[in-house]
Amino acid sequence: MTKFSDLKLHTKVLKAIDEAGYTEPTPIQAGAIPHACEGRDVLGIAQTGTGKTASFTLPMITLLNRGRARARMPRSLVLAPTRELAAQVAENFDTYAKYTKLTKALLIGGVSFKEQDALIDRGVDVLIATPGRLLDHFERGKLLLTGVQIMVVDEADRMLDMGFIPDIERIFQLTPFTRQTLFFSATMAPEIERITNTFLSNPQRVEVARQATASETIAQEVFEIAGAGRETAKKKRDFLRYLIDKEGEAVTNGIIFCNRKVDVDIVAKSLKRHGHDAEPIHGDLDQSHRTKTLDGFRDGDIRFLVASDVAARGLDIPNVSHVFNFDVPSHSEDYVHRIGRTGRAGRSGKAMMISTPKDDKLLAAIEGLIEKAIPRGETEMPKPEKVEEKPKRSRRKAAPNEEVVEQANEDKAEAAEEPTDTKPVPKPSQMREDKPRRTRGGRGRGRKSDDGGEKVVGLGDHLPQFIAQSFEERRAAS
């Protein structure tokens, strides 16, 4: 049986390992550490949760124990795809290097440049960074990579998925050709194969499991529900809560994975609204908020972590009892990384996935990758008990009673029977007062007709007499 003492590690490192409670190395550690301590390039292929972080952290501390870092020139470099994974590597380094004088710096987004520049200026032995923030410091002239002796690329396949491969290639070109390279990945895509052939020198390949295989300690189950359109998302949220309630106390904590960031927020709000303790985590959240959420989940203050794939790989979250795939992952490899959050270190775990008819091809790809069919679960939910609803209060006015209606009808009938006044209604012209009105020609006084008749007050509903008389006189004259 292999022990850490057989792996050519420094005595100070062995002391820290013993205090941390580790006794036996994992297969990837037992295979990679001896070759790394000899100064060889290593290509490690292993599924998530197998202890890859210690596979490069322990030999780095052993090799860097002698020597001293210079300002702005780190002696080693560790590249990680996400802030959380980089922070986890930093925590592991602190644990294993506690009896050495080695220094480190963590370069991730969401943290002030000024604080990071101060650490680099003092000189660090180990620089742990995400590719984007590392290049930001380099382009600002705050960092030199010509002194890097050991370079580590962790979760290379995740780097590929996130579009970091061009950055990785550029960083490789900025480091010395004589560096030692430790390259770790869960899968070996063609692009990853190309990079290893280009930048690694005769690497020792260490592969401890088939590419992207699920742990045997994880009980897997898929639930195929019917539905299409907008109603599907609501059905999936309802069914997710049904699964959680069905598992009951067996769900001590769980991670719920969604493909889209917007769905992460929606599912988390839905669970909260129905009384479940859940918090979202994805790449759009501030780093301080993400760190606080992860710490709360690790400490048991948060029961459910609703996450995008930013939390799918490399995070050391122990004792996760359940993983729920709210969405079938778009890439079949992501399924293995997601469910790898549970069943770690030999513990048992449970992984449940919700599928719809449009996910049939993705589901088939996953089953082809893991080389077995995932058991189907029962999808029929019990019908909720009917609750007698109280009559809703109508917003309309209350209907009048019969007495009021009868009275109104009687009033209408009486009005119809009343005799009408037969006197002729005077015309508007006859109702005018015979008072002088201001006219254009009379300045307030009406003009008299030729025969001394009524005053002309203007044209109304009848023809004035003087106009008719003038026409008759003209006819007689002619």
Express each pLDDT in 235-267 by its tens digit: 999 999 999 999 999 999 999 999 988 999 999
Task: Tell me what pLDDT residue 431 has.
Answer: 47
Residue 142, pLDDT above cutoff 60: yes
User: How remote is the C-alpha of 384 from its chain's centroid?
Assistant: 31
Q: Is residue 437 part of a domain?
A: no
* Residue that is last in its domain, among 186, 207, 228: 207
The total number of residues written for the chain in this structure: 478
Contacts (Cβ under 8 Å, ≥6 apart) of 245: none
- 243 and 326 housed in the same domain: yes
Residue 97, pLDDT above cutoff 90: yes
- 161 and 304 housed in the same domain: no
Count of structural domains, the chain: 3
Residue 416, pLDDT above cutoff 50: no
- 242 and 199 housed in the same domain: no
- 233 and 195 housed in the same domain: no
Residue 54, pLDDT above cutoff 80: yes
- Please, which pLDDT band fits residue 274 given cuts at 50, 70 and 90? very high
Residue 103, pLDDT above cutoff 70: yes
Q: Is residue 405 part of a domain?
A: no
- 60 and 79 housed in the same domain: yes
Phi, psi of 270 (to 5 degrees): -65, -45
- 303 and 356 housed in the same domain: yes
Residue 19, pLDDT above cutoff 50: yes
Q: Is residue 331 part of a domain?
A: yes
Task: Tell me what pLDDT residue 242 has.
Answer: 95
Task: Tell me what pLDDT residue 380 has.
Answer: 84
Q: Find out whether 268 and 233 touch, Cβ atoms under 8 Å.
A: no
Mean pLDDT for 422-449 is: 48
Task: Tell me what pLDDT residue 110 has.
Answer: 78
Q: What is the CATH number of the domain that holds 26?
A: 3.40.50.300
- 282 and 341 housed in the same domain: yes
Q: Identify which of 77-91, 285-299, 300-314, 409-423 has the greatest average pLDDT.
A: 77-91
Q: Find out whether 60 and 89 touch, Cβ atoms under 8 Å.
A: no
Q: Is residue 246 part of a domain?
A: yes
Rounded to whole angstroms, the Cα distance separating 453 from 465 reads 8
- 343 and 261 housed in the same domain: yes
Rounded to whole angstroms, the Cα distance separating 287 from 46 reads 28
Residue 448, pLDDT above cutoff 60: no
Rounded to whole angstroms, the Cα distance separating 321 from 260 reads 23
Rounded to whole angstroms, the Cα distance separating 91 from 80 reads 13
Lowest mean pLDDT among 23-32, 49-58, 432-441: 432-441
Residue 478, pLDDT above cutoff 60: no
* Residue that is last in its domain, among 207, 234, 260: 207
Give the other-Cβ count within 10 Å of 312's Cβ: 25
Q: Which pTM was predicted?
A: 0.66
Instruction: Show the domain range for 152.
Output: 4-207
Rounded to whole angstroms, the Cα distance separating 183 from 156 reads 7
- Please, which pLDDT band fits residue 48 given cuts at 50, 70 and 90? low
Encoded amino acid at 368, one letter: G
* Residue that is last in its domain, among 353, 370, 387: 370
Give the other-Cβ count within 10 Å of 79's Cβ: 25
Percent of the chain exceeding pLDDT 90 equals 50
Give the CA distances from residue 43 to residues 169, 186, 337, in Å, rounded to whole numbers and listed in that order. 16, 11, 19
- Please, which pLDDT band fits residue 313 given cuts at 50, 70 and 90? low
Q: Return the H-helix or E-strand segment holding 91.
A: helix 83-96
Residues linked to residue 44 through DSSP beta bridges, in sequence order: 184, 206
- 327 and 451 housed in the same domain: no
- 28 and 171 housed in the same domain: yes
